[in-house]
Amino acid sequence: MNIVLLGAPGAGKGTQAQKLVADFGVAHISTGDLLRNAVKAESELGLQAKSYMDAGQLVPDSLVIDLVKERLAEPDAQKGWILDGFPRNTAQAEVLDAELAKMGIALDGALLVDVAFDVIVKRLSSRRTCRSCGYTAGPETEVCSRCGGEMYQRDDDKPETIQKRLDTYQSKTAPLIEYYEKQDKLLKVDGDRPVDEVYVDTKAQLGL
């Protein structure tokens, strides 16, 4: 199983990825995590990425794809992988396709977790995050059940910020749906249901 995960912020992509990783042992490759880990490790690619991030600039696609390629070569990714957070636009998808072809790796599909934007705004604006460990829960949770830390509302979970994130997604990332549809690789699940119901559908779409 080698798949790209698509969906707007707050659609529940990460939750589905975690369940697939737990059940099937595939690698969950988040480009945000890749960048943070590379910077922390002070690897050659990490230092290059840090120079852009420190200057307040976007890390170039070429650098992100190099990090992805490096990660795909690691042992746990040989069982399969879920790519989360890349590609973010059709230009990146074309580069990814070319690099995967060079590596002799087939992309099995692009899984879209589909949720209406008004549902996402309501869902994210009610989310609280632990300051210590990053655990997320509903507004009724004041103390983290995982580590006992303080729960708070992140700035990017406030309604006005969420709308900006969704507008960015709509203009840049949503065209990927059409891109993968044309390749006959688009798989779709309705994400506006209980997590376990979505997961049953996810597995069915992936033939698992």
- Please identify which of the residues 13, 71, 123, 128 carries the catalytic annotation: 13
Question: Does the active-site annotation cover 123?
Answer: no
Q: Give the HSE-up count for residue 99: Cα atoms under 13 Å, Cβ half-sphere.
A: 20
Question: Does the active-site annotation cover 13?
Answer: yes
- Reference 93, options 168, 5, 1; nearest CA is 5
Question: Does the active-site annotation cover 36?
Answer: no
- Please identify which of the residues 19, 165, 193, 203 carries the catalytic annotation: 165
- Please identify which of the residues 71, 88, 123, 128 carries the catalytic annotation: 88
Rounded to a whole number of angstroms, the distance between the first and last alpha carbons of the chain is 9
Cα–Cα distance, 189 to 206 (Å, whole number): 10
Strands 136-137 and 128-130: antiparallel
> 84, 29 in Cβ contact below 8 A?
yes
- Please identify which of the residues 19, 36, 50, 127 carries the catalytic annotation: 127
- Please identify which of the residues 19, 50, 154, 203 carries the catalytic annotation: 154
Question: Does the active-site annotation cover 131?
Answer: no
Question: Does the active-site annotation cover 193?
Answer: no
Catalytic annotation, residues: 13, 88, 127, 154, 165
